[in-house]
Amino acid sequence: MKKRKFFKFPVSSIIVLTFLFGCKNTNLNQSVEEVIVAESENVNTIIPDYVGDESLDQLVIKTRYIGDLFIDNGISLEKSGVINSQGNIRMVINTQDLNHRNLYKPIQGGGPHIWISKQPSTTKKVTPWATSNELILQMRAAVPHVKLEDKDGKTGSSDFSADRAPVTQLSFGIYLHDEGSNKTFAYIIPVYESRGTYQESANNHDTYTSFISSPLESNSQYITKYPKSESLQSKPYAEKKFFKVSITRENLLKGIKDSNIGLSQDLSKYRIAFLGVLFELPNYVESGSNISMVELSHFTAFTRYKMSM
């Protein structure tokens, strides 16, 4: 049997082609990958209260509605904020702390949150489905602490309804701009949800943006869970787990059709406006509280084009 030889040729700083020589199997799938977020970018800038920030083409950590005391004082279960130690990112949102500082209040379109995100510039337009079969996001993450408390003083770490205590969510997030219809919509893909899993939907709106919400589950139709990826979690866990999700052409087209907001079905028209990982307590509960901690690392995003040889 003839021995197979693999060769890698660098094509650019973000694309690598892998060729297989001496192989008689013409149906063997190979792939071309384009990196959007590299693991080396996880050592990045922290921007508190990011309103007006225009950072482009770089991975940054952005916070909103949690103040900036953590920049000097650090974080703990009692102190909301984020720290980044050589790509190991730790985040805490404590609504009791925020309430004490008069920061926890009803917020239109969301709640206190932290983004690890990248916004490609229009000059570096990223249109995954124009040339690729799928957009892939992956990371390692742990949610070691969640404490929910309702108005009666009852506490727990999961299964609280949204009217009993603020919800804990950790999600992949992607904002896509459809240049065909000139509309922007989002994908929210939770890997942690304190209420547990749920039925995905393409008809959601946060006052500002329409979005598809699809849990990281094997039966979700708007996304594809990779076999080695963990599914959506709903109870705290200390050791980081591996999460990997893909939005294929088929996934995106189904989401577009089911959203019913007049989006183009020409997938080459969709460019990434913004993508990353979102840690959020999305709902306000006046008499309930939430203390949640998240740890994550190894966040990457890339496209893949499969070809037969």
Q: 183-237: per-residue pLDDT in tens?
A: 999 999 999 999 999 999 999 999 899 999 999 999 999 999 999 999 999 999 9
Beta carbons within 8 Å of 257's beta carbon, 6+ residues apart: 265
The pLDDT value recorded for residue 11 is: 37
For residue 254, give both structure tokens. Answer: 């189904």
The pLDDT value recorded for residue 309 is: 41
The pLDDT value recorded for residue 281 is: 98
Name which of 122, 208, 222 is nearest 172 in CA terms: 222
Residues of the chain below pLDDT 50:
1-28, 308-309
Predicted confidence (pLDDT) per residue in 159-184, tens digit? 999 999 999 999 999 999 999 999 99
What is this structure's pTM? 0.89
> What is the CATH topology of the domain spanning 36-302?
Jelly Rolls (2.60.120)
The pLDDT value recorded for residue 19 is: 32
The pLDDT value recorded for residue 29 is: 52
The pLDDT value recorded for residue 62 is: 96
Predicted confidence (pLDDT) per residue in 1-13, tens digit? 444 433 333 433 3
